[in-house]
Structure 1
Amino acid sequence: MVFNDTIWSVHPSSINVHDKYVAVNGFDVSRDKQYIKIDGVASDNDDDEVCLQLLDVNLDYIFETLDIGNAMFGGIATGKFYASNLFSKEPHLRTPGLHVERISYNQAMLGNADIVSEWDNATRGVAIKAEIKQPNGRSSYIDGAIFPLNDSLDFHFSADKIDVRFMRPFMEAFTSDVSGYASGKARLYGTFKYIDMVGEVYAEDLKLKLDFVNTYYSCTDSIHLTPGRIDFHDVVLKDIFGNKAQLNGWVTHECFKKPRFEFRVTDARNFLCFDVTERISPDWFGRIFCNGGAFVKGIPGFIDINVNISTAPNSTFTFVLSDTEAAGEYTFLTFRDRAELEGDIKYADEDPRIAAVKRLKDRLSKRNDEEEQATVYRMNLQVAANPDGEMILVMDPIGGDRMRARGNGNLRIEYESANDEMKMFGSYALTQGSYNFTLQDIIIKDFTIKPGSSIAFHGDPLAATLDIQAVYSVNANLSDLDESFLQDKDLNRTNVPVHALLKVSGDMQQPDISFDLEFPTLTQDTYRKVRSIVSTEDMMNRQIIYLLALNRFYTPDYMGATTKGNELVSVASSTISSQLSSMLGQLSDNWSIAPNFRSDKGDFSDMEVDLALSSYLLNNRLLFNGNFGYRDKALNNNSFIGDFDIEYLLNKSGNIRLKAYNRYNDQNYYVKSALTTQGVGIMFKRDFDNIFSFLRRLKKKDNDKADDKKESEDEKSRKLLEREEVTDSLLMIVPRQ
């Protein structure tokens, strides 16, 4: 016998039927270690009784066959059912003891149940009382009835920390993972296909996953269930790090079908609101902590998310700007769906043409089901960006071109999954960051972004407008440009600090890239002499490439015969520096480590070794930049270099800072007796278009303070006058002695 696609064996038995008399002897149906046995006599006599015995029967088969849907019970049942007076108007049915091992509801295991039931002739239903002994050592109770003639049920639950995973099918419109415990009293009632629930439930350690942003949230609070509605009031919501926000919302449904929901999250502080990995979304991913709120509403198949936040510390967001498609991977092992394999076996004995048509119908049906299950997300994200959050723009995932930046700006991000289209609007002003510049995998250098750079978004993220300046610092010898610098009286030495300046502007996909040179220690006359040599764009590009690749200037052709530099040594030291910097840079995301080796002579007698360190600590409030190294120079009294800057942001915007520094005095640059220079102070920064707008702002603040002072004095005068009036009134009321 086939029952729900499962073969059961029917053993020999005898059944005698005569009028209102049925005698069953040894009826036995079994499968593996499960069996159902029936023995006894059914008649209208009280003394005749039929016994139905179950042993390890899987209830999942029964409820799947009945297609009850939202009332899917499961477990392994063992027990006996007794029936008498079956041919009378008031039959007597009872179950003195039915034990269900690992009873489940909606595929969520609840515990072990002991059930007592009896047929109620008055209500024409099966009255059921059950005790569920849960894995946590507690017990929950069920009292109710099933009415098979009306395809309905009515149960009262008294739960004590029962597992709430049975609620997942009712919340699948916005979450795929629910866990936690529930205590309280509730009523489950309705037909087998249209079911509802009411009650007051206390949820403890309730945890659910918001699928679109891939975040888990937990709470412990009361949930109010009324017919067709679930309400949440002032629920304290926690993310996986324990940060808190407040949740209010509701879910409406029609017998747990056609759900609609609205959730409002407010008072979020350092709250995890986005946690999408690169594997989930290769084009845009990251972990964003926020301050602010969000509003989420939707129905099955569509979810609308509106967020208004400011970035909080430890936030990172990566956007891949390249449209390069990832190469597919070839697999030697292919895993097939067992259901599909069984389908192929099912059609193997049929006519190939008919089987092909049926197989095509099955696959189309499956595809349609998958398309119906796809949920469309629409997101509107208003972000007040600040230096607490880091933005990473990846220009070339393969080559490694990427920019890491922090800054300020107001951004609006719109995304709709139906067409997989993202739009970004706003301007992002960079305050700090770095740009990893690569050229044909030969030159790999980290440029430091200058404050004041910006990225403007006008819709298409790939069509953003760039206005970025970045600096790469190096020491180079001016004599490689022209030997006349060796006799320049304005120079104490020809080996000077040089800033290679990278300028990126225009459309992000086809930006205009130009280069320039800055010399922090040169006089104006010497600088003009350098620019007279580096006077063309072609010469500038050559100088930049040499500075990045070899840490030295390019020698013009007319100087080629007299140059004394050893290019082979420069290539070797630059290559070693680049490779070490690439390896050490992968050790930590919090620290930037960049070693550098330089030498102008082939015997390495003038070796310079530098190690640049930088980091943002204490939620990006403490900025550290250091340069430590060794110089093998005979003219210097101190061969050790220990330069560092430490800045602490006294306010969130960072315009007031406490700064301390230590500088190594290169005595070839400066005529100082001390080996180092230290300093400490407070920095104040204010951006303005012109001096008049700055003065107007200060004047406005002074006027505001004066108004506040005047209001305060007026308030004091008013209170004094009221006090005098009260005193006069008291004098009038109190009789004189």
Structure 2
Amino acid sequence: FVKLQGEAELTGGVDPSGKTTLVGVYEVESGSYEMTVSVLKRKFDIQKGSTITWTGEPTTANLDITAVYKTEAAPIDLVEQQISGEQASTLNQFKQKIPFNTLLKMKGELLKPVITFDITTDEKNNAVSSNVTDIVDQKLSQLRTQESEMNKQVFALLLLNRFVGENPFQSGAGTSGEMLARQSVSKILSQQLNNLASDLIKGVDLNFDLESSEDYSTGNKNTRTDLNVGLSKKLLNDRLKVSVGSNFALEGEARQNESTTNIAGDVTVDYSLSRDGRYMLRAYRKNEYQVALQGQIVETGVGFIITLDYDKFREIFQKSKNNRQKEQKKNKQNQVVEFK
């Protein structure tokens, strides 16, 4: 499934013989490509600046499109040969997951595109040790000269969200059988907690999310288990919604400057300015830990939200009017029934 948004100035025509021509460049502003294979679903975001160029025959347009799939993976399996023999503290730095971009590039004719792949480190890696990014970038540059090896790592990221080493059945990325079991149990416990909480307090919605992970940001392995608790309550005929939530560390050492005792870390207040929920005012306070800054960040703000559902642009302005007409018609019908 491909979705594109962009601009173009195209010139088309049909000559006396019936031949159709099309000339111009379509420049992509935004878009996405959704790949679905069995249960596997991956979404690529098409980069701004990608183009489709027509020079005559409509079916022979030239493509220059780049789509990006973002994921986080531990690079240790990718660079295992480059860091063999290093100390455990150095190896642990490569077990920490960092952002990667998987690039899908389409070039050539529209009906016969040439598809190639690439992998780059993400700009968000500024918080990662320069030694780690330098070694990873060197390895990726080497893979660009070996198409088969690059494709192997690309499909490993798409299928497994991790790299594969020389032995594909062995991984040093830290995703052990114990961690897989812990993550599975965490999901089951979260579901059971939510089922129990659904009828625990009438009129109040409770939500639990138990999450287990392995953190290598300090250079040492730190197994963490966190419990996210959320509570929300609707007031004033459901016009006002108050949500309070926080994260509690159940297992693992606290990270540097991390607060673990804040009961109401996140607070959100939503007020519907209209009965249909079309216009909403939101005030929030968000408390979260930033790995890059190694500290707790508190963010507060106010937002104005407009929710629209339309098929044609003009319906944006007609929606409220149509709803009022429907309500007036319904009220008249009710009055007739009561009169009879």
Which TM-score band (shorter chain)? 0.3 to 0.5
Which structure shows the higher helix fraction?
2
User: TM-score, normalised on structure 2?
Assistant: 0.47
Bigger Rg, which one: 1
User: TM-score, normalised on structure 1?
Assistant: 0.24
Larger RCO (alpha carbons 8 Å, 6+ apart):
2
Which structure shows the higher strand fraction?
1
